[in-house]
Amino acid sequence: MDKNSIHGMWSSRLAFILAASGSAVGLGNIWRFPYLASDNGGGAFVLIYLACIVLVGLPIMAAEILMGRQGRMSPVNTLRKLTREGGHSGGWTVIGWIGMVAAVLILSFYSVVGGWTMHYTWLYIAQIFGGPPISDPVATFTNLLASPGTLIFWHTAFMAVTVAVVAMGVEKGLERAVKFLMPLLFLILLGLLGYGISTGNVGQAAEFLFTPDFSEVTGDTLLAALGQAFFSLSLGMCGIMTYGAYLPRDISIPRVAVAVSATDTAVALLAGLAIFPVLFTFGIAPAGGGPGLIFTSLPLAFSDMAFGIPYAVAFFGLLFVAAWTSSISLLEPPSAFLVEMGNLSRRTSAIIAAVFIWAIGLVTALGFNVWQNVRVFGRDLQGAIEFVASDLMLPIGGLLIAIFAGYVLNREVARSQLSHLSKAGFAIWRFLICIVAPVLVLVVLGFKLFG
Ligand code: PFF
């Protein structure tokens, strides 16, 4: 008999797909992917990225979901249960711990950037009602970073809306939120795309994004593409594993994994097709974007273009919604863990986790101003946290998940969770998870650490 999770269950396949896509689609798609693509040879990067999604992302996503559904608990306790049931070393529980610590660290800075999206949405909404225009976008952005009070205010607001959802539980909180927010996100994205098409520069944007220029491809391109695949699909930190714990047994894992990966990839490409036409129309160079692409280059265009202000509200609103549904999935694992550990209610657990992560977020917020000269690993504070969490912990977590699912977990357990796969399909998954994914991740990690 298959048990349900004590935390609740998704009511349908669609609910899971929306929630997991909500986790995957985030700042990584709308802000990071377009500038990575433009900095790394456009179409060549996109091709390599697609290969990473199919060869590494998809099999690891299936592994995370199946482990979650087998364990039905937060990552740490799921791993405890799986190792106990299978008679494996309890040391593998470290996968759950790495995942949870990575989630805490990522959310701590993700929430600060999520706060920026709220701040900008607010600035543009205020303009509709006669507020001051953003005449010097670079100064506006620099001033924001220089002001601890403003940063902390919006960081707090962002964490508050995140914990409000998680505190209400899987069905009444997470599922209800994504069923409303994800359609809204798609609607805004299509609207922005329509605007881009009507300005007539989508062709140039498409050429820029899809014409492969292999001369710009280096070892770093592969690193960037694989790292982005992990970050964008929310893999390696057990967030998708946690969502898998709430997935009803009769739903096909391969099918939902393909749906989520395809949605995530489509949104990244569509975001590129929506953003670049605007930049091209106003002759703004996209290369070397970084955080500035969104927060300084685009506002430059907004002040000149027709319907610039409503466009800006829609754009930063889109960014906010995308960041919000991702941060929900980052707060869920530690919250579920606290529920399992103590006799705490979900609400109390979610609030404790959120306050703890909010406090760590202060390091990022203050790192932009008060502590701007502090360096860790040769990086500023936000950069250091991001490096440890996304560049190191996600690939290490992903590698361990692949090894565990491929070599440690009882083969029959994996087979029964992936019962919707044909015999050949299962053999392909085994090949990818046992050989292709670990080798590629190891190469990337090696380069990152020693290259
Ligand atoms: N996938 C999110 C993005 O692309 O912005 C970021 C993220 C969310 C990473 C959740 C990891 C995670 F667990």
Dist. CA 431 → ligand 1 center (Å): 26
> Which among 46, 27, 59, 79 is positioned nearest to 421, based on CA atoms?
59
Report how far apart the first and last C-alpha atoms of the chain are (Å, whole number): 49
Looking from the CA of residue 323, the nearest atom of ligand 1 is 5
For 305-354, how does the pLDDT look when each residue is reduced to its tens digit (9 = 90+)? 889 999 999 999 999 999 999 999 999 999 999 999 988 999 999 999 99
* Segments in 129-147 forming alpha helices (H): 137-146
Instruction: Report the nearest-CA residue for atom 11 of ligand 1.
Output: 234
Q: What's the pLDDT score for residue 41?
A: 79
Tally Cβ neighbours within 10 Å of residue 172.
12
189 phi/psi in degrees, rounded to 5: -60, -45
Per-residue pLDDT at 289 exceeds 60 = no
Q: What's the pLDDT score for residue 287?
A: 55
> Which among 273, 261, 274, 251 is positioned nearest to 2, based on CA atoms?
251
The position carrying tokens 């964490």 is 159
Across the chain, mean pLDDT equals 92
What DSSP state is assigned to residue 92? Answer: G
Q: What's the pLDDT score for residue 87?
A: 96
Mean pLDDT of 167-193: 95
- Is the separation of the CB atoms in 304 and 149 below 8 Å? no
Dist. CA 86 → ligand 1 center (Å): 30
Looking from the CA of residue 394, the nearest atom of ligand 1 is 11
For 47-69, how does the pLDDT look when each residue is reduced to its tens digit (9 = 90+)? 999 999 999 999 999 999 999 99
Candidate of 162, 230, 232, 264 to mutate for ligand 1, largest count of ligand atoms within 8 Å of Cβ? 232
Cα–Cα distance for residue pair 254/95, rounded to 1 Å? 22
Cα–Cα distance for residue pair 226/395, rounded to 1 Å? 9
The percentage of the chain sitting over the pLDDT mark of 90, rounded to a whole number, equals 72
**∠217-275-124 over CA atoms, to 5°?**
140
| pTM of the predicted model as reported, rounded to 2 decimal places | 0.95
Mean pLDDT of 138-144: 93
Per-residue pLDDT at 1 exceeds 60 = no
Does domain 13-450 match CATH 2.60.120? no
What distances in angstroms separate CA 340 from CA 41, 164, 185, 370, one per listed residue?
47, 20, 33, 38
For 240-259, how does the pLDDT look when each residue is reduced to its tens digit (9 = 90+)? 999 999 999 999 999 999 99
Dist. CA 22 → ligand 1 center (Å): 9
Q: How confident is the model at residue 292 (pLDDT cuts 50, 70, 90)?
A: low
Mean pLDDT of 411-419: 97
Dist. CA 377 → ligand 1 center (Å): 23
What is the CB < 6 Å shell around ligand 1? 23-24, 26-29, 103, 106, 231-232, 234, 237, 239, 326, 329-330
Looking from the CA of residue 103, the nearest atom of ligand 1 is 13
